[in-house]
Amino acid sequence: MRDCADVAAVPRAKKHEENRKEDAGVSARKGRHATLSRPPSRLGSRPVQLRLAAAVLIAVLFAIGVAVVARSAVLREAVYAIWLVPLGELALLGAGQYYYRFRFRRAPGKFQLLIFQVTTTGKEQARVNEIIASVRGYQLPMPYEVWVAAEPGHENRYPQADRVIVVPAEFRARSERKARALEYTRRLRAAEGLGRDDVKILYNDDDVLPTRPYILTAFDADYDVCEGITAPRTEYGTLPVGHLVASHADDVRARQCLIYCSVFQGLLGEPLYVHGEGLTATGAAEQRVTWDYPVFASEDLTFGQNAAKLGLRWGWFCESVELTSPWTLREFFVQRRRWIWGDLHAIAHRDVLPRSKAAVIAAKYVADCVILLVSSAGLVLRLTGELPPASSLYGASRLALLTWLAVFFAAGWIGAGGSVDGRNDDSRLLAALTAVLFSPLSSLVTAAGLAWPLIAGNPRTFEVIRKTRNS
């Protein structure tokens, strides 16, 4: 392979149709391999019998928990207290909006180049070309280049991209799959002098379209790393039934962005969640953090958390990227399985996440499980008459329920605002009300998306799902 120094910089002025496929080798780090051979995970998959036994055990423990709560006055009060969590989340949402409206820093003119990079396996060529065409149609005011990083073995024809970079099969890095491709392009940028403070890289998946305001805000944001909201806007809330349910389950992601990302990434500058759709970093930040970690998934979480560990400045803004929800429930669970086990792998390994960051993420997972189980137990008791409304917290808990539904309404309104679908306000209102009606099911499906991967076991690879209806 050739060294980085031998890779020629691409001329800035050239026609989009004359993009070129690049597979120039980037210098390998000694002892690292393209396909990482990991030892068996401490959180690995289990035989089918053990998985079924775990599911039965969870059901039994839940039933025992319901019975215990029914007999304890203290625990009954605890149920009402847990039901007040949405009020706390509403306060967080308000704090996040305050941060964005009054403390978010912009620096127009500071950044000189935007690299809009789509990282793809190469299987979704048509969708990637649609995304690039949409971005070109924005008539962006800043100097920018469109890069496509793809795996070999596909046609990889992207006429409107400035650069098509095919990651060589022999390229070596600790990271795997998508993270490996990102690491390759990082080293390429380093070789070409693009790892600078005045260069912004907006990372994009092959099923996501950032809106024009999103790109403009991300480019001017005076932060080392930043991102906005993920919204399931591509054919949001449409048939088939699996996609309808999955897109409303993704309302939960938009809700989490509005509540938790706005505070942790924005107000505190210490990310909790990190999503790869629309993640934006300066060239200098990318070179400091790198993508070279022993991960097969959750590379976005790994990058974001390690950026914070290094003291880089985090920002959050209230603009949306338009993601595509899974087209079937089976694909929904495949996607969630990859995410959960990617997170668990990162939490369990100190060469991926520092202990302090891993502890916070693990604590949030535990807290979510406790809230789910206690809330569900309380609902069963309330429906069976075992949880009387005599508590002083009962009235407040009803108010909390209304705020919970209101945030789902907001998520549905955002989700129905897709630039391609072109819905009017009446249609968006109907979609937002539908999101409210679906909110119990959305929460249950999301909870199943957390539980089922633990039962199904570690996929140990980056499982890819369809990105378009007919792919």
User: pLDDT, tens digit, for every residue of 410-435?
Assistant: 999 999 998 777 688 899 999 999 99
User: Around Cβ 372, how many Cβ atoms within 10 Å?
Assistant: 17
**How would DSSP label each residue in 227-250?**
EEEEE--TTTT-SSHHHHHHHHHT
Chain Cα centroid distance, residue 94: 22
Residue-wise pLDDT for 252-267, tens only, equals 999 999 999 999 999 9
127, two tokens: 């969708």
pLDDT reported for residue 50: 65
Report which of 56, 303, 311, 124 is spatially closest to residue 201, judged by C-alpha positions.
303
pLDDT reported for residue 7: 36
Chain Cα centroid distance, residue 395: 35
pLDDT reported for residue 101: 97
pLDDT reported for residue 392: 82
Mean pLDDT along residues 315-324: 97
In angstroms, the CA 231 to CA 428 distance is 14
The owner of tokens 């390994």 is 349
333, two tokens: 């669970």
Contacts of 101 (CB under 8 A, 6+ apart): none
Residue-wise pLDDT for 285-314, tens only, equals 999 999 999 999 999 999 999 999 999 999
Q: Which of 64-68, 145-149, 208-212, 363-367 has the lowest mean pLDDT?
A: 64-68
Spell out the domains of the chain, with CATH numbers in brackets: 45-471 (3.90.550.10)
In angstroms, the CA 210 to CA 366 distance is 32
pLDDT reported for residue 15: 41
